[in-house]
Amino acid sequence: MTNSSATFGKVAAEPEPIELDWTKTALLIIDMQRDFMEPGGFGETLGNDVSQLARAVKPIAAVLNAARDTGMLVVHTREGHLPDLSDAPPAKVERGAPSLRIGDPGPMGRILIRGEAGHDIIPELYPLDSEVVIDKPGKGAFYATELSDVLQKYGIENLLVCGVTTEVCVNTTVREANDRGYRCVVLSDGCASYFPEFHEMGLKMIKAQGGIFGWVTDSAAVLEALLPETSKIAV
Ligand code: C5J
């Protein structure tokens, strides 16, 4: 938000609606990278049908545009490793029987390596220079990153969370954030999984038991709650 005084919006969500102070809320977009979204990347090397993830792009783009209009803090994350793999545990690199392993050369450069084309964020959701990009070696966005410091610096208490995949990096990050005291509101249509049943279950796990890890909403509900804010943009 460009204005430091509190502005509240009520978001329809499960297990119950949640009132958010937009000045203390950030949009956190998890790992919308070519390596997960496009053929030839990390996701496909693991045997996944990457077309399953495409459905999340438009809902995220709509909320990203609204967040930009209101001046909300936007944070993008990217999963990936240093070229020498010094931050990639052998237990991660050697696991399973992928067609290509992390660090191997692929059609979009070395698989899941920082600086390679596949590691970059898809053009539809490309970060602005003013937005924060967090490079993370793990599934959770707090592990071995500067995310905590960034959120504290901006006085953030609430996270609108979206991205891929629902049950892996989105869920891990929401759990990490919940333990750190953040209210996490997850966009159901702004997340996706290679496994539709894991997507459904991943969301259920977040909102069960009175919202044990957070709240689940959708892009339309966030846009509706944010709409009054877009007319308050400071110039
Ligand atoms: C995975 C992620 N699925 N971003 N990463 O390995 O969810």
Per-residue pLDDT tens digits for 53-70:
999 999 999 999 999 999
Q: Is the peptide bond before 15 cis (omega within 30 degrees of 0)?
A: yes
The shares of helix, strand and coil residues in the chain, as percent rounded to the nearest 5, are 40, 25, 35
C-alpha 166 – ligand 1 centre gap (Å): 8
136, 162, 184, 207: the catalytic one is 136
Ligand 1 atom nearest residue 42's Cα:
6
Q: 128 with 157: CB under 8 angstroms?
A: no
pLDDT of residue 1: 61
Q: Which tens digit of pLDDT belongs to each residue from 78-116?
A: 999 999 999 999 999 999 999 999 999 999 999 999 999
Q: 185 with 10: CB under 8 angstroms?
A: no
162 is an active site residue: no
pTM of the model: 0.96
Residues of the chain with pLDDT under 70: 1-5, 231-235
C-alpha 31 – ligand 1 centre gap (Å): 7
Spatial CA neighbour of 221 closest among 189, 174, 195: 189
pLDDT of residue 6: 72
